[in-house]
Amino acid sequence: MADVRQIVIDIIADIAPDEDVSNLDDVKSLREQLDLDSMDFLDIVMELRKRHKVEVPQEDYPKLATLASCVSYLSPKFATV
């Protein structure tokens, strides 16, 4: 099983190197905890595709709002790659 939570955190750490990602709350929105804007969410999606061949269509971007929602939305996609 892929550790989807860690995969997302690793991506965030790369696209926003100045952010502290060590103490993220899983149920709070990522935007509230970090300085992320829509451009950064695009980068999360692009990195998921580049590194893990996982596709996230534009209408599903809101499903990446929290770490917990990332895990529940992305896990089935990781299971099939």
Q: Is 35 a catalytic residue?
A: no
Nearer to another protein, 1 or 18 (CB): 18
Tell me the C-alpha distance between 1 and 6, whole Å. 12
The phi and psi torsions of 29 (rounded to 5 degrees) equal -65, 145
Nearer to another protein, 50 or 63 (CB): 50
Signed CA dihedral, 3, 78, 63, 44: sign only = positive
| Footprint of another protein (CB under 8 A) | 15-18, 35, 37, 39-40, 42-43, 45-46, 49-50, 55, 57-58
Residues forming the active site: 37
